[in-house]
Amino acid sequence: MQPGTAGQYVRNMYLGGDVMRGPAQKPFGGKLEYDYVMWIDADVLFTPEQFERLLKHDRDIVSGVYLMEGGKACATVKDWDEAFFEKHGHFRFLMPEDVTEGSGLGTGPG
């Protein structure tokens, strides 16, 4: 299984998707009206004020970046560098100084 595949499968399943129905699917099978979908990891504390701040951007997709345990690196990988991973045993995570509002970071391999 390629990196990210399991997570993508689970997110699709939670949105009512089915890999057997092909790529042209609507979230929740088109049976539920909604304005927003928000994913928060179970180990992340998130306040209503942080949600409101994301919502105020008035964009189709908005993401927050947070520091991992230890506070030295962000839980975000910009470049999926498998050679770096093989050499170091981990990906190169963003550092706080790498993150700016509107920097247009991707969400992983795609």
For residue 95, the 8-state DSSP code is: P
Looking at the fold, whether 46 and 78 belong to one and the same domain comes out as yes
Domain range for 32 is 1-37
Give the per-residue pLDDT at 88.
Answer: 94
H-helix segments, the chain: 5-14, 48-55, 82-88
Amino acid making up residue 52: E
Give dist(CA 10, CA 16) in Å, integer.
10
Look at residue 108 and tell me if it is in a domain.
no
Residue 101's pLDDT is 67
Residues 46 and 13 in one domain: no
Listed in sequence order, the residues at least 6 apart from 89 whose beta carbon sits closer than 8 Å to its beta carbon are: none
- Amino acid 61: pLDDT: 84
Give the three-state DSSP class for 74. Answer: strand
Give the count of domains, the chain.
2
One pLDDT digit (tens) per residue for the chain, 110 residues:
455 566 667 777 777 778 788 878 888 888 888 888 887 777 778 889 988 888 898 888 888 788 888 889 998 888 899 999 999 998 999 998 888 766 554 444 43
